[in-house]
Chains A and B, each alone.
Chain A
């Protein structure tokens, strides 16, 4: 079966750095997405990766290793507005997105 694993919840301090991991086992791989979802709102797109390596976009960076079925989202200089759930999703061989349950990130002052 297809499976995507993320930690359920993480807590970090404002101004700090946090790494959210995602491991996946899917039938085929056509890219990995990260989405952000604030409580009571819809998910919004953060990033898409299909090649191995590290890519930085401002305060957010993401790493992908296809051979290990592993990705992480790195958030730097945490702000209170970063409190949200972060969803990892993989596009499978049928081009459908398989979603992880999401990691709820709690930021403390």
Chain B
């Protein structure tokens, strides 16, 4: 099935633990993104990648890291989780990341840090 998958669907995590959220797309899109969505706030960009092998920082990158070893996968790592990282995390991709390119979103990961 074409699209974007994320894992896990939800997770409860103890503060201080390390966690990697997985994201895989099979549309051969060049650009990929990680967002967090909090109640009352818009989607906020954490990190992005315009093409395999490159990454960039978004609006709220602190406490998160990413890698883009290949076109399909874009994992997001929380090195030492804190309660303020409790959120819904969406991975997205777009063909080129320019112009009218729409972003396609994964189903999201609901993360709770206690």
Which A residues are within 8 Å of any B CB, using their own CB?
4, 8, 30-31, 33, 41-45, 48, 50, 87, 89, 95-102
A interface, by DSSP: helix, strand, loop or mixed?
loop
Residues of chain B contacted by A95 (CB below 8 angstroms): 97-98
- CB-CB under 8 A for A42 and B45, given A48-B102, A96-B58, A101-B40: no
Q: How far is the CB of B13 from chain A (nearest CB, A)?
A: 20
Q: Is the interface of B mostly helix, strand, loop or mixed?
A: loop
- Pairwise interchain contact B105-A44, C-beta atoms closer than 8 A: yes
Residues of B within 8 A of A101 (CB): 40-42
A30-B99, A45-B103 known; A100 vs B42 contact (CB < 8 Å): yes
Within 8 Å CB of A41, what residues of B? 107-108
Cβ contacts under 8 Å, B90 to chain A: 42-43
* Residues from chain A with Cβ under 8 Å of B44 in the complex: 99
Asked if B60 is an interface residue, CB under 8 A from chain A, the answer is: no
Contact A31 B99 (CB under 8 A): yes
- Contact call A99/B58, Cβ cutoff below 8 A: no
Question: With contacts A42-B106, A42-B108, A96-B48 known, is A48 near B40, CB below 8 A?
Answer: no
For A8, the closest partner residue in chain B by CB is B40
Which residue, A30, A48, A96, has most C-beta atoms of chain B within 10 A? Answer: A96
Given contacts A31-B99, A48-B100, contact A42 B105 (CB under 8 A): yes
Q: How far is the CA of A12 from the CA of B54 in the complex (A)?
A: 45
Given A31-B100, A42-B90: A99 and B106 interface contact (C-beta under 8 Å)? no
